[in-house]
Structure 1
Amino acid sequence: MGYPRDWKGTTIEQFIEVVDSYIRWYNEKRIKISLGALSPIEYRVSLGLAA
């Protein structure tokens, strides 16, 4: 995702797709140093919790 972004020519569907993609990345894939350099999902799996 590039920032800043001009959203004027973007449809609602495209906007939702971009936001959904960001939320999925934020919740599942980003690496957190406070979680031992794991993504949130990897951290939960390491604790034996279902993702």
Structure 2
Amino acid sequence: TSKQYRQITTEAGITRSMSRVGKCIDNAPMESFFGHYKCESYHLKEYTLYQELIKDIDEYMEFYNFERLQETKNNLTPMEFRYQVAI
């Protein structure tokens, strides 16, 4: 990571997040989430304002975690699955 990149992101208040070297699996959960988001929401709408996009992502995140059933999690939502595993 270049010094300039670190400086720009720090000044903008952006948190950098990168996978470990050679560990592309680190980013798999986010890739999965945004893959679903793009298919199920983003490509179905047009956004005129950045704030509309942010609001849509927030709403989809809520839906994804608390309402969207996932076949790989025994048809539970991610939060239901997490709760079951924690018990």
TM-score (norm: length of structure 1): 0.63
Q: Percent identity?
A: 23
List, as ranges, runs of 4+ consecutive aligned residues in structure 1 with deviation greater than 3 Å.
Answer: none
- The number of residues matched between the two structures is 47
TM-score (norm: length of structure 2): 0.43
Shift of 1:42: 0.4
Q: Cα RMSD over matched residues?
A: 2.2
Task: Work out which of the two has the higher radius of gyration on C-alpha atoms and give 1 or 2.
Answer: 2
- Counterpart residue type for residue 45 of structure 1: Y
> Which 5+ residue runs of structure 1 have no aligned equivalent?
none
Tell me the residue number matched to 1:45.
83
The structure with the greater share of residues assigned to helix is: 2
